[in-house]
Structure 1
Amino acid sequence: MRFLAPGWLALLAAVAALVVAYVVVQRRRGRYAVRFAALPLLERVLPRGPGWRRHVPAVAFLVTVAGMVLALSRPVVEVQVPRERATVIVAVDVSASMGAEDVAPTRSNAAVAAARTFVDELPDTFNVGLVLFSGSTALTVPPTVDHAAVHAAFDGVTMGSGTAIGDAVLTALDGIRALDDQAATDPPPARIVLLSDGANTTGSPISAAAAAAAAAATPVSTIAFGTPEGTATVGGSTMPVPADIPALAALAADSGGQAYQAETGEELQEVYTDIGSSIGYRAEEREVTSAVLAGALLAALAAAAGSLAWFARLP
């Protein structure tokens, strides 16, 4: 929480002084009573006092004053509000190693299934694009609010050789840039979500792609999935295809995104849900002066009600 007019907070010192004064007065009242009568005599002559109830109106009054001071200071808090628009490019590795079956039924099938669900859960106002890459990259679907077009593109996925992760990021950035040029006055926030299970074997270095994404203020969230023991059959030969987790983590960190690791289809779905949540909301400051004033008013009403009920008078 912060305050738009923090100078008024100095009045809280006066509230603290009232608290001290109240405590001092209560102690003096106790001393005066003892000075003029013996304790056993007081217990027989005086009726039973209100006890803790006599402090309730005073406490409520002090809360009221403190609330009014806070309201004058115009407090603001940070809240999460839904984004009304954004651009998300999903980049999916379709290299031969994605045929490994350590993530059932295969890495590729699990990735596509989770990507479909992810796109379905994004708000209709989001622009969504699709980059498919192996040794070469293609902006298969430019960013569009027609999410059905992305679904249709997944139906025609074919596997290739090589893995050009750096080029995939640069291709996604080109797609985002083209869309931003059409809305140059106020381009929407953008994010790239990249799935891959292998090292960058061709094309631009990952470090160069990360630097370009950071310069464009477009975080890249990476998902490394598969197991270290994963194998794939390519050209009749079986070869190990472990996920290059450090490389993908570096891409995410250097671009300002988040790195995830999913070794099963269930974990992959959880990752997409997490990414969708972070894209779908943004932090926004809101002034809560009216709420603080309402609390102060309730405290004042409590002080009045307590005083009338217990002492038949207003404080």
Structure 2
Amino acid sequence: MVFLWPSLLWLLLILPLLVLLYLWLLRRRKVQALAYPGLALVRQALGSRAQWRRHLPPLLFLLGLAALLLAAARPLAVLKLPSEQQTIILAMDVSGSMRATDVEPDRLTAAQNAAKAFIKELPRHVRVGVVAFAGTAQLAQLPTQSHDELLKAIDSFQLQRGTATGNGIMVALATLFPDAGIDIAALGGRQAMRVLPMDQVTRPEPEQKTFTPVAPGSYRSAAIIMLTDGQRTTGVDPMEAAQWAADRGVRVYTVGVGTVQGEVIGFEGWSMRVRLDEDTLKAVALRTNAEYFHAATAQDLRKVYETLSSRISVETKETEVTALMALAGAALMLLAGALSVWWFGRVL
């Protein structure tokens, strides 16, 4: 535990002085009892039970005072608290390779089921958006708190050719930052894509704002979860998209679906081997200060989303606990006074 105002900890020196004062009062009372033998006989009749009762209220009062003095120094503690992230974008792969059956019943169905279970576990105040990407990327559902709308969007996925993982990240970023200069309509392919630097974005304001990158993972209001099973075949370089996310502090959690060795599948007259590009997914997560998860089975995928739900809903951070410390101190002092009045008819 650390303190914002550590200089006030010198006030704790009051405590040993109070202990010495209490011991002096006890000694004084003992001398008085010897001077009046009748008082000594009464105390002996009460027995040891009255002895601990006599000392408990002062002890509670001392502990309460110590808590209040610590609160004055404004303590900080590492606690698990509800996350500040209010928006999550699910970027989900709907390329033809998602029909592979190495994840039962197939990759797409397993991903849909796991994503729906993930949404149901999130707190109601968290908004979720859905991006579907294959050869192109599109916003399937604007960020919303309506779970029914999100489930409908996920159930409406249709398989397409190509895998543009970078486009999925860019559309997710464009949803989170509408003024970032990302032309969603032009994200149909690498050649058609137009992503302007922030200092070149046309704005209605008289003066343009200069974009300043922030630390990766420092943006606490949103996060992106990208689920894919294949290698990028078209569109934006995923590492370029990851750099855009990192510069804005957005974490991109990546989930790899399927087996690393891949599987040969047929789709619209094409035959292809679909392999999981773990190296790129790990690099994307690393660059954005997030994590990579591998899901080789439907059960693995469900566990991944359960883990992500707990990571995103709750975060561990250093928080000031002055109010809690002051509340504990006040409660102890009130308890000390109440016990003293109950047992002895006076306050301490």
Smaller-chain TM-score bracket: 0.7 to 0.9
Aligned to 1:70: 70
Aligned to 1:207: 239
Correspondence list, 1:29-178, <5 A: 55-75=55-75, 78=79, 80-81=81-82, 83=84, 86-123=86-123, 126-134=126-134, 136-141=135-140, 143-145=142-144, 148-178=148-178
CA distance in 2, matches of 1:177, 1:305: 57
Name the CA shift for 1:89/1:310 in 2 (closer, same or farther; >3 Å): closer
Aligned to 1:191: 223
- Provide Cα deviations, 1:154-187, integer angstroms capped at 9, x if missing partner: 3443323332212221222223222789xx9xx9
CA distance in 1, matches of 2:222, 2:334: 49
- Provide Cα deviations, 1:107-149, integer angstroms capped at 9, x if missing partner: 1111122223333444555443322222x22213252426545
2:15 match: secondary structure:
helix
Equivalent residues of 2:260, 2:278 under 8 A apart: no
Aligned to 1:260: 293
1:103 match: secondary structure:
coil
- Where in structure 1 are there 5+ consecutive unaligned residues? 33-45
CA distance in 2, matches of 1:100, 1:163: 14
1:228 match: secondary structure:
coil
Equivalent residues of 1:65, 1:296 under 8 A apart: yes
RMSD: 4.2
Name the CA shift for 1:127/1:61 in 2 (closer, same or farther; >3 Å): closer
CA distance in 2, matches of 1:126, 1:205: 29
The one of 274, 291, 300 aligned to 2:307: 274
Equivalent residues of 1:231, 1:238 under 8 A apart: no
CA distance in 1, matches of 2:148, 2:339: 62
Give, in angstroms, the shift of residue 280 of structure 1. 3.7
What TM-score, normalized by structure 2, do the two folds share?
0.67
Give, in angstroms, the shift of residue 71 of structure 1. 3.5
Equivalent residues of 1:87, 1:143 under 8 A apart: no
Same amino acid, percent of matched pairs: 34
- Provide Cα deviations, 1:232-261, integer angstroms capped at 9, x if missing partner: 312578765342223212211211222222
- Provide Cα deviations, 1:160-218, integer angstroms capped at 9, x if missing partner: 3332212221222223222789xx9xx99222111112222333322212111111222
Aligned to 1:216: 248
AA in 2 matched with 1:260: F
The alignment covers a number of residue pairs equal to: 298
Aligned to 1:37: none
CA distance in 2, matches of 1:207, 1:188: 21
Equivalent residues of 1:137, 1:171 under 8 A apart: no
1:119 match: secondary structure:
helix
1:178 match: secondary structure:
coil
Name the CA shift for 1:280/1:309 in 2 (closer, same or farther; >3 Å): closer
Is structure 2 residue 258 aligned with structure 1 residue 226? yes
Equivalent residues of 1:87, 1:128 under 8 A apart: yes
